[in-house]
Homo-oligomer: A and B are copies of this chain.
Amino acid sequence: MPGKAYLYENVSQRLRHHIHEGSYRAGEKLPSVRVLSRLFQVSVNTILQCFRQLEADGLIHRIPRSGVFVAPTRSEQKPTTDVAPKPVPLLPVEVSLSEEILRYMEPYTSRPMLRFGIALPDSEIMPVERVLQTFRDVSRSDGLASWHYAHPRGEEAFAHQLARRSLNYPVPVTEQDLLVTNGCMEAIELALRVVTKPGDAVAIETPTYYGALLVLEVLGRKALPIPTHPRQGIRLAALEQVLRQGQVSACMISANAQNPLGFSMPTEQREKLARLAGRYRIPVIENDIWGDTVFGEAQLPVKAFDQEGEVIYCSSFSKSLMPGMRLGWIAPGRFLHRVLELKQVSNITTASAPQLVMARLMESGFYHHHLQQLRVHLQRQTRELMALSRQYFPVGTRINEPSGGCVLWLELPKPIDSGQLFDLALAQQIHIFPGRVFSPAGRHSHCLRLNAGSPVTSAIAAAVRKLGVLAHQQLT
């Protein structure tokens, strides 16, 4: 057991590090003594001792009855991930990650495990009973409708609700513009199959969701990673360069709560991206699976600004409600006819009951209400997990602050290899997802994605501590 002096030094060092790295910026209020005491799992007195030390060092100042704030002299400090990235050659690469990805996915499904490796809100914070009750209601009052094949586009009542979501878009989506899919993954795969062919390259964010890389690999498409700003998203100047040079057949991005970085693009960037797609006639596949989880107010997707029909919007309810019902949708713009044709030969249509259930949950306003609660849960959980990560991971670890969703992206100090960390963690029944498979060229092997979908319990805190110990061991 570490002694009290160790605890005090350790906590002080961590707080110092967070302030240096810009996790808490000049003028920002630090969490309360009580919260920090819980997060660092030390006594209130230890935290007060740290505060006295930091104040003496000029890093913080205390305002009675207001709280503790970061001192203004540190305002120049920014996280280094925020500066312009080093120039990288913008060239398409073959994706060859499937074996590695499947290896990292395997433990989730086969063994009991602390699940940091997934990216999914826990059913514990979901209105499970209400949704299951609605399934029962549908089976009673709409049983025959759920019995039969839905229209290939989807159930009308559901399509109606989906279209209604876009009423405030500058360019709204109508019921005739969309079709229902088996989750967001089917939407993305249909989009890719329609707008690209084997051998084509697709511009992607880096890092990006490994599933997007997997589908590129399995379909025999190349990836062209575009530098991506950790808070603003894909760099449009670099993207425009590859569009202008005709290097890609499509672009695949997320504007809301991107997985894994957690950023949401500024609105003007979204508008600009939609215009770029129109100007170069290169379709943008927008993966908006996390769109409904953005903290605070919902943001318009890129699709909202799509004058030319070049944006193929893909989303689902797997992250915001019930993954097991496999319910997503696609608004394919000018590619509607070919997407519908491919959907029909792929599986005729999507199951009826989940569509009827979601139509009810949306029509009654319940889904909207649920999202408000879900966002609060996810924001709290990501903040708490972030605080734990700051506490336990080595000095030099950078954590991107998510704007929605339920994952944290940790950049560990460079010598650390997250693939090795995966194996070490697995031996302790902890499942993490290594950063190395979030880019096709292995640029993120020192990174790590952690799931914040579950309420932060002592078991989770203990697991973060264990991960921190393993990371420290790797460093030394």
Contact = CB atoms under 8 A, between A and B. Distances in A.
A128 interface: yes
Given A128-B144, A144-B128, A347-B181, A353 B341 contact: no
A326 B136 CA distance: 18
Q: How many identical chains are in the complex?
A: 2
Contacts of A182: 182, 346-347, 350-351
A342 B148 contact: no
A56 B358 CA distance: 68
A211 interface: yes
A144 B322 CA distance: 10
Contacts of A98: 341
Nearest to A341: B218
B353 A325 contact: yes
Interface stretch (A183-191, A360-368, A409-417, A466-474): A183-191
Given A144-B123, A352-B324, A218 B342 contact: yes
A219 B345 contact: yes
Contact of A345 (B214, B350, B352): B214
A344 interface: yes
Contacts of A353: 135, 324-325, 353
B345 A189 contact: yes
A30 B292 CA distance: 66
A256 interface: no
Given A149-B318, A149-B323, 15 more contacts: A109-B151, A123-B148, A132-B143, A133-B139, A135-B136, A147-B322, A185-B347, A185-B348, A186-B346, A218-B345, A219-B345, A325-B353, A326-B348, A326-B349, A346-B346
11 contacts: A109-B152, A123-B144, A128-B143, A128-B144, A135-B139, A147-B322, A147-B323, A211-B345, A211-B348, A326-B349, A326-B350
Interface of A: 98, 109, 123, 126, 128-129, 131-133, 135-136, 139-140, 143-152, 181-183, 185-186, 189, 211, 214-215, 218-219, 318, 322-326, 341-342, 344-354
